[in-house]
Amino acid sequence: MTLSRPVGLLDPATHAWLTGHALPGVLLHTLDPLPGGFTNDMALLTARRPDASGGAGAAGASGGAGTAGTERYVLRRYRPGGSRVPRNTCAVEIAVLDRAAARAVPVTAVVAADPLGRATGRPTLLYRFVDGTPLSQVLADGPTSGEARILGRAVGAALARIGRVRLPRPGAFGDVSLVPAPDGPAMLGDLPGFVDHCLLTAAPDRPLSATDSAALRALARRGPRALTAVAGERSLVHGDFNPKNVLVQRRGGRWAVAAVLDWELAFSGSPLFDVGNMLRFAHEYPPTFTTGFVDGFRSGNGQLPADWLRLSRTLDLFALADILTAPPDPAYFARARRVLRRSATA
């Protein structure tokens, strides 16, 4: 358990921005690092208004209220640095959240932002905390077959809503207009080339063996056919639609999606990218989760071609290659390598 630390440990510029612009009149209390921020810094911020009797109302309306009189927020600070895959800027991520919310996609509510880092020194986003449990935790706890089906249907329906957000053309977002550039990034059009790039730029002490590297390259050779099958699709794609980025909660005794988090990898393309991402570790979940997920997606008018499973697994190789050659931690690498080996022997 992470112990709360005084919010005064924030750097002066960010503290001044929070108290003077983002949350004027609010007394900041504690700042707790949040797990899962592999590319950006995430922290839970608790605060209290001097008039505690009415201060928590706004947060409570969106699930952000903590104990009586407190409000909870998430502070997201973007780290500089390059990336193999296009990552959206703070400003673009806000535009994506706005577009998704307009189509009833459950997302977090932005409170304030410093998109260029002019006030805080780093691009910074503050949004309301949403009560919920990561889907990854619920699945790890071993839900019953019936609960797994309900979870799957809820998540599939949420993905269908994301896919109903249409964009002008496929590709990565260049600015807040969310109009992709005509010449999209290579990672969306050349899977074998992207896999080669990942393998060539992996650390010298990379944990991936020569045999696994060869298997990854062999699987990537299916890429051109899969990309041709989804060419021209222009739906909103989350890009990292996996259980750790989906918060769920019980509503009326049933599981529902509370929020879809972390949109920095969003782009325009085929929902099958997200299908493959969500089902990457499906062999670890109750089979009814996958059944419910497919049913929920289709009931929300999500379209799945006859060979959707093969296509989605192939498209997920973009993410899998990045994970295997630059793993966030040993445990996740081990899980991803098992997926590679299962696919190679299938």
Tell me, yes or no, if the two domains 5-128 and 133-345 fold the same way: no
Taking the chain (346 residues) in runs of 10, the rounded mean pLDDT of each run is 54 94 92 79 90 43 53 93 81 97 96 97 96 96 96 98 96 94 67 94 84 96 93 95 97 94 95 98 97 98 96 96 90 94 91
Which pLDDT does position 3 carry in this prediction?
44
Element containing residue 239 per DSSP (H, E) = none
Q: What is the pLDDT of residue 171?
A: 92
Closest CA to 268 of 110, 88, 90, 107: 88
User: Helices (DSSP H) in 181-250: which residue ranges?
Assistant: 191-200, 210-220, 223-229
Taking a C-beta distance cutoff of 8 angstroms, is the pair 302, 163 a contact?
A: yes
Q: Which helix (H) or strand (E) holds 82?
A: none
Interatomic CA distance for residues 89 and 97, integer angstroms: 12
Measured between alpha carbons, how far is 103 from 240 in angstroms, rounded to an integer?
19
Number of H-type helices and E-type strands within the chain: 14, 11
Separation between Cα atoms, residue 291 and residue 314, nearest integer Å:
20
Q: Are strands 246-251 and 267-269 parallel, antiparallel or unpaired?
A: unpaired
Q: Please report, for residues 97, 153, 184, 292, the alpha-carbon distance to residue 285 in angstroms, rounded to integers and kept in the order given.
A: 29, 14, 35, 12
Going by the DSSP 8-state scheme, the letter that residue 80 receives in this structure is: P
Identify the pLDDT of residue 35: 76
Map out the domains of the chain as residue ranges. Answer: 5-128, 133-345
Contacts of 101 (CB under 8 A, 6+ apart): 107, 109
pTM of this structure: 0.90
* pLDDT of amino acid 329: 86
Pick the CATH number of 5-128 from 3.30.200, 1.20.1070, 1.20.58, 1.10.405: 3.30.200
What class does CATH assign to 133-345?
A: alpha beta
